[in-house]
Structure 1
């Protein structure tokens, strides 16, 4: 890195720590595309890439007064985005593992304990509960669980971000878990 770039980064960091919105805007304009492209290469998901980079840059602004950047700003942002992506992967894996475990536990328990007529009744309860979900939440849940579509596919179909898809699915699962005491995954 040349001296000029180092000086610019130093000025941006100083401005940022003082709460200067202009410095933040320059930082955002200077690094957003580069960070987005990096995260996109990792994720192959444009909505996710936007969300993760925006999270990093938002946190940078929120913690501006306590920033202690000892490396170059570019390296700091690169590592922050890399770590944000890794945290996303860990979170997704934990959610998937927990849902998968719960699904199989419930299926085995239910299969062993419920007669076919009870299963029909329970399915009916589940369908009624699903219909009580808000419209968009219901659409996302049905596409995910009944049609087995991936989050990215659902986002494209409904014209929403994958993050919004995840929020709707979590909301639906919480509602169903609270309101329906049968297997539903």
Structure 2
């Protein structure tokens, strides 16, 4: 066992016993590596930071099991990779669902009441979009309303594709939280459809 692994193992044992200082040392030692790995895989500072925080949060929450970890760096990498996969899968599902809803309402020709509810829901979403930073808002609208891909948006906005992707990912994350914060309004709107 190398000195680093020996030190990691000792710190893991101390952390398993509930010692916060041991956790802090491991956090400080591995934060940059976990964050950098997440950044390379996601191309988003915000998602990379969220993933890194979640990795260390889970490590602390499961500290009573960490004494069996033989290779901490490998464990952290695998945990980050799995969290990234789950996060990106969720984002793809959300985008697909949003596209489905937009397509469904366009094709089915909803009745007047449903159209009014859809307009109210769209108003709530518009309020959230107006709170986005201008560049994020522009990238999101070009993508979702105009149907442009990341390459086309990057050319139109004069920024890299990675920046466009970051803008859109951040916009989706913000709007998801905005809708969660306004869940009661959305819930009542949906509930009003079931009389």
| TM-score past 0.5 threshold | yes
Q: Secondary structure at the match of 2:90?
A: helix
- Between the two proteins, the alignment pairs up a number of residues equal to 168
What is the alpha-carbon distance in structure 2 between the residues aligned to residue 33 and residue 26 of structure 1? 13
Matched, 1:103 2:102: yes
What is the alpha-carbon distance in structure 2 between the residues aligned to residue 86 and residue 155 of structure 1? 15
What is the alpha-carbon distance in structure 2 between the residues aligned to residue 124 and residue 86 of structure 1? 32
Structure 2 gap segments, 5+ residues each:
144-163
Structure 1 gap segments, 5+ residues each:
none
Match of residue 124, structure 2, among 119, 127, 130: 130
TM-score (norm 2): 0.68
Match of residue 185, structure 2, among 140, 158, 175: 175
Matched, 1:55 2:46: no
What is the alpha-carbon distance in structure 2 between the residues aligned to residue 64 and residue 126 of structure 1? 46
Aligned pairs for 1:59-98 within 5 A: 59-67=58-66, 69-98=68-97
TM-score (norm 1): 0.71
Deviations 1:140-167 (A, max 9, x none): 4x948994577843798xxxx9744431
Distance 1:136 1:178, change over 3 A: same
Are the counterparts in 1 of residues 34 and 77 from structure 2 also a CA contact under 8 Å? Answer: yes
Shift of 1:45: 0.8
What is the alpha-carbon distance in structure 2 between the residues aligned to residue 96 and residue 69 of structure 1? 39
Root-mean-square deviation (Å): 3.8
Who is 1:33 aligned against?
32
Q: Secondary structure at the match of 1:67?
A: helix
